[in-house]
Structures are given as C-alpha cells and as structure tokens.
C-alpha cells in the first residue's frame, strides 16, 4: 500500500475508507458487514479511516 504524509508527521495509506455509511446516520446498516469491511481494509493496509459525519 502506498503511503502519503499529511501535515508534517502523519503517514497514512494513499487509499482511505469512508465509514459514514457504517454509522448511526444511515438506516438498514449491517453491523456484521461493517466490521468485516473494516477488517478487510485493515488487512489490506488501509490506515486512513474517514469517520467524519459530514
């Protein structure tokens, strides 16, 4: 996984995962599927998880 530096010191994966759809803001979400998706992303080297609610 390629990395990018944010600011001066924070190094994250070049590819991130948007997680808002896994939150309370959307109905019909599947917690088991959300957890599986997070595990797959982490296993693939993703270290940038976008948890913003906007």
pLDDT digits (tens, 9 = 90+) for 4-24: 999 999 999 999 999 988 877
Ordered alpha helix ranges (H), the chain: 31-43
**CA of 47: how far to CAs of 1, 19, 27, 52, in Å?**
10, 12, 26, 15
Angle ∠(7,8,13) on CA atoms, nearest 5: 65
Nearest to 54 by CA among 18, 30, 28: 18
pLDDT digits (tens, 9 = 90+) for 19-51: 988 877 777 788 899 999 999 999 999 999 998
pTM of the predicted model as reported, rounded to 2 decimal places:
0.81
């Amino acid at each position: 996984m390629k990395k990018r530096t944010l600011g001066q010191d924070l190094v994250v994966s070049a590819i991130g995962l948007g997680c808002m759809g896994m939150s309370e803001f959307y109905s019909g979400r599947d917690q088991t599927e959300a957890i599986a998706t997070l595990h797959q992303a982490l296993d693939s080297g993703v270290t940038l998880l976008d948890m913003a609610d906007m």
